[in-house]
Copies of this chain bind each other. A is one copy, B any other.
Amino acid sequence: MQLKVDIIGIDAGGKPIVFLNKTDADEIGVTASARVSLKAKKEVTAIVNVSTKSVKKGHIGISEEIRSSFGHTPHVVDVEISAFPRSLQFVRSKLEGKKLLRHEIYEIVKGVVDGTLNESEIASFVTALHIQGMDLDEATSLSLSMVETGKRLNLRNKVIVDKHSIGGVPGDKTTLLVVPIVAAAGLVIPKTSSRAITSACGTADRAEALMPVNLSSEEMKGVVKKTGGCIVWGGSLELAPADDIFVRTEYSLYIDPLLLPSIMSKKKAAGATHLVIDIPTGRGAKVKTINEADYLAKDLIELGKRLKIHTHCVLSYGEQPVGYTIGPALEAREALQVLMNEANVPDLLDKACNIAGAIFEITGRKNGYSLARQIVRSGKAEAKLREIIREQGGKSTIKPRDIKVGEETIRVKAKSDGKLLWISNSSMVEIARMAGAPKDKGSGIMFSKKIGDTISKDDVIFTVHAEKSRKLSRTHELLERLEPVGIGKRTDMVIHTVREIPELKRSFVLER
């Protein structure tokens, strides 16, 4: 059916949508969310929205996405119902609990990337994966398909190392230390990282308080060739782009079944040969128990083998924030101070040296931890970070005080004496986000006390920083509602008493 093209001036965040009048949609035989093929010199597949009033009969409203797929604006397009995509057949197999074959998974991933699977269908696939699970053959196929439908870095080095954290612990600026330590020892570590999704701060957010992170693939490779390392935002490099789409759906549904292929596909696309994965473990982390962490490590190592990435996992203590800060600027400043040997942040330094040490050992060196510690102590790590900052386009002489933090503050004080027994990671994330993190780089939390510290009534336990007073004031309300820390004696036994049906909430960590 020939339809006249209306430019409706809508871009739909990457989705290839068109709007049809109800009468035309009926005549073509499609309903909302169905697929049509549009022909005008070339052929383009689009997802249908049906409009009863705003698009006239005989017309079709096309989004900016469709216009750019055509490369020009056709006056008229020929619109027909599109063949049922084969990928949908395979999505349904997963619904039935069938194990999917390599080419079936490839078809699905391709359908996700090229937009022929609509949002409902992707949500259904992600839900089915969550419920039915996937085995390691399927995880391998998913990882490889996600690599094949995206770009690759193609560095030529024989050994390329990488690190990753499963996430879930706020304040985890370990990468800002590990990359310069490892690069200072002569290894190649092209680190791509993500921005916060559910957290208060992603590694790309905290690195951005030190230097530009939105580099092109070529710029990134230039930095790595000169310095051995980099810390860039992976979002614009189009490594495993399917993952960005899956993540949107997972976020909406609060489930995360694609964790393994998501991690490993990005590492494979970046060319990693050796990989260390940090699994923060404990109440308040994404992974709650050591047993659960060991199972995850087993899968990650086996999946690494199949993808030819030599993988080790490090289980780390995840029951409280790492170091004393949460929020992009506060964390960047803390990391810089530790590398300058100006601040004593023992947990952060210990974690960074352990992870860097594990990278050293997986690539054949001995005494990795001591080597890492030595590289920090000697100032070589600091020098390497400044080199990376310069090559990424930042100011290499940056001082901790140059990194501005929010000046609006709330100091949260102890209501009683005792020991600091626990810190709620999820409450801290909620508070930091309410104060403006990660969008407002200077917003976040600075701790004065950590678990195990002795507290006197009215001691400041932590300080909330915000850039904007509007956001600080809404944080006040939240602080009154939450119980972010626990102070008491180790002999206090009751956690809480349940007297009526509790409001069930689940905190959810989705980071890449």
Q: Report A's interface with B, CB cutoff 8 A.
A: 8-13, 19, 26-27, 29, 31-34, 49-54, 61, 64, 88-89, 91-92, 95, 97, 118-124, 126-128, 130-132, 248-249, 251-255, 433, 439, 504-506
Contacts and interface: CB of A to CB of B under 8 A. Distances in A.
Given A13-B32, A32-B248, A120-B123, A95 B130 contact: yes
Contacts of A10: 8, 10, 19, 49, 51, 54, 61
In order of increasing CB-CB distance, the 7 nearest A-B pairs are A120-B123, A123-B123, A127-B127, A124-B127, A9-B54, A13-B50, A13-B32
17 contacts: A8-B9, A10-B51, A13-B32, A33-B248, A34-B252, A89-B504, A95-B127, A95-B131, A119-B120, A120-B123, A123-B124, A123-B127, A124-B124, A124-B126, A127-B127, A131-B131, A131-B132
B439 A26 contact: yes
A506 to B, nearest CB: 7
Contact of A251 (B11, B27, B31, B252): B31
A68 to B, nearest CB: 11
Nearest to A439: B26
Copies of this chain: 2
A233 to B, nearest CB: 14
Given A123-B123, A248-B31, A254-B92, A51 B12 contact: yes
Contacts of A61: 10
Contacts of A248: 31-33
Given A9-B54, A120-B122, A131-B132, 4 more contacts: A92-B506, A95-B255, A121-B252, A123-B127
Given A27-B439, A31-B251, A52 B123 contact: no
A124 B122 CA distance: 9
A302 B111 CA distance: 42
A400 B131 CA distance: 54
A8 B64 CA distance: 14
Contacts of A118: 252
Residue of A8, A33, A255 with highest tally of chain B CB at under 10 A: A33
A24 B221 CA distance: 32
Contacts of A123: 119-121, 123-124, 127
